[in-house]
Amino acid sequence: MDRIIIFHAKWVLFFTLCCISMKFRVMIRGQQVPCLFFMGDSLSDNGNNNMRITVAKANYQPYGIDYPAGPTGRFSNKKNIPDYLAQSLGFANPVPPFATATGTTVQKGVNYASGAAGILDDTGGALGDVISLNRQLLNHQITIARLLLIRGPFGVTSYLNKCLYAVNMGSNDYVNNYLLPQYYPSSKLFTPDKFAQRLILQYSRQLKSLYKSGARKVAVFGLGLLGCIPQVLATTPANASGCVDYINNYVQLFNNRLKPLVDDLNTNLPGAKFTYINITSISLSFNLSALGITVFNAPCCIVSSGGQCVPNQIPCSDRDQYIFYDNYHPTDIINQATAARSYNAISPLDASPFDISQLAQQ
């Protein structure tokens, strides 16, 4: 109990120093890496799905209701985690989506993330044409070809060695694959343990491919508590924990393999600086009262049966009091908090072997 009290005291002190009216103030000390690349799903997507034939898109109101440019494809009321990480790393502007990145802007980095995408190629396919991690890796090859034209044939690899990559994948391999037996056979073919192993084997190949393309500083995000999201709670009875425990247990089978994978990559790939960002630890450690959160398991916007915001409906007015904006995705204030803890770890459990601020300095 004493350790919990001490930890909460540190957390409250952190917010006292860093927040005004529960809003983060990000200290910019100049751009810390030459470029920044994101791969992932709807937690990171900032517009790549907008023109694709898929229902997994967020380019309509009330998404972006608090974002200066309005709806952009971010699955949030305002910013997402990549926006806040770019800000913390000293970037003056958000990293553009691959779909619209043109000219010399790619030298600062590209966001390849796609809502509903997964580690597996078939994940999210029931929702339409989404960009799997394998396809995001191919898009990165297109960016590298552009960099060769801009910077010439010499030095592109060494340039990419200095850049920072963040990869946040795997949630949809559960919520838009394994947990949807009516669309995907994976739960009939694999036990939860075997499925987690299948994901890790594929992920290992993909992260090694990223390394071969020049990436050296790579933050790999673990999965959050998928058994606690409103969409799951709306369809599956919760346990005494308030969440669907068996789903969280499935996810933990994946997370338990992910940190050893990161350790293995660092051991066996010369010059590799991979790090594991423990989203489960981070989310469980939030002092929600310090953040001003009062609504934990309901969405801020009116949602469709698919869990996304119904177009053009008015969301809740007190958005900073909600964890979830729709039935899947966090509000801006949770994205801020998650990015802050990923960038500057408070607990040794948050990141291993280093947080993103330390990764940038490697």
Q: How confident is the model at residue 33 (pLDDT cuts 50, 70, 90)?
A: very high
Q: Rounded distance, CA 349 to CA 346, Å?
A: 8
Give residue-wise pLDDT tens across range 68-84: 999 999 999 999 999 99
Q: Rounded distance, CA 265 to CA 327, Å?
A: 34
Range with lowest mean pLDDT among 2-16, 161-175, 270-284, 291-305: 2-16
Residue at token pair 């890496």: 33
Residue 160 has what DSSP assignment?
H
Distances (CA, A) of 106 to 96, 97, 146, 334: 8, 10, 8, 28
Q: Is the pLDDT of residue 4 over 80?
A: no
Question: Span 93-100, mean pLDDT?
Answer: 98
Question: Span 15-33, mean pLDDT?
Answer: 50
Tokens of 272: 């590799």
Question: CB under 8 Å to 211, separation ≥6 — which residues?
Answer: 218, 265, 269, 272
Q: Is the pLDDT of residue 18 over 50?
A: no
Give residue-wise pLDDT tens across range 316-335: 999 999 999 999 999 999 99
338, 343, 346, 351 alpha-carbon torsion, rounded to 10°: 90
Question: CB under 8 Å to 17, separation ≥6 — which residues?
Answer: none
Q: Rounded distance, CA 333 to CA 190, Å?
A: 37
79 φ/ψ angles, rounded to the nearest 5 degrees: -95, 165
Give residue-wise pLDDT tens across range 168-220: 999 999 999 999 999 999 999 999 999 999 999 999 999 999 999 999 999 99
> What pLDDT sits at residue 30?
87
List the alpha helices (DSSP H) in 74-191. Answer: 81-88, 133-151, 156-162, 171-173, 186-189
> What pLDDT sits at residue 29?
56
Q: How confident is the model at residue 361 (pLDDT cuts 50, 70, 90)?
A: very high
Q: Are 276 and 220 in contact (CB under 8 A)?
A: yes
Q: How confident is the model at residue 99 (pLDDT cuts 50, 70, 90)?
A: very high
Catalytically annotated residues: 42, 326, 329
Question: Span 230-239, mean pLDDT?
Answer: 96
Residue 3 has what DSSP assignment?
H
Q: What is the pTM of this model?
A: 0.91
Question: CB under 8 Å to 280, separation ≥6 — which residues?
Answer: 222, 223, 224, 225, 251, 252, 255
Q: How many CB atoms lie within 10 A of CB 191?
A: 11
Q: Rounded distance, CA 76 to CA 309, Å?
A: 10
Q: Is the pLDDT of residue 50 over 70?
A: yes
Q: Are 299 and 23 in contact (CB under 8 A)?
A: no
Q: Is the pLDDT of residue 145 over 50?
A: yes
User: Closest by alpha carbon to 219, among 297, 141, 165, 159?
Assistant: 165
Average pLDDT, the chain: 92
Q: Are 51 and 115 in contact (CB under 8 A)?
A: no
Question: Span 4-25, mean pLDDT?
Answer: 36
Domains of the chain: 2-361 (3.40.50.1110)
Q: Rounded distance, CA 360 to CA 362, Å?
A: 6
User: Closest by alpha carbon to 230, among 152, 136, 304, 282?
Assistant: 304
Tokens of 14: 């952190």
Asked, as a colleague might, if the bond just before 353 is cis with ω within 30 of 0, I would say yes
Is the pLDDT higher at 8 or at 178?
Answer: 178
Distances (CA, A) of 154 to 150, 160, 213, 253: 11, 12, 14, 43
> What pLDDT sits at residue 332?
98
10 Å CB burial of residue 142 (0-12, 13-18, 19+) is middle
> What pLDDT sits at residue 153?
83
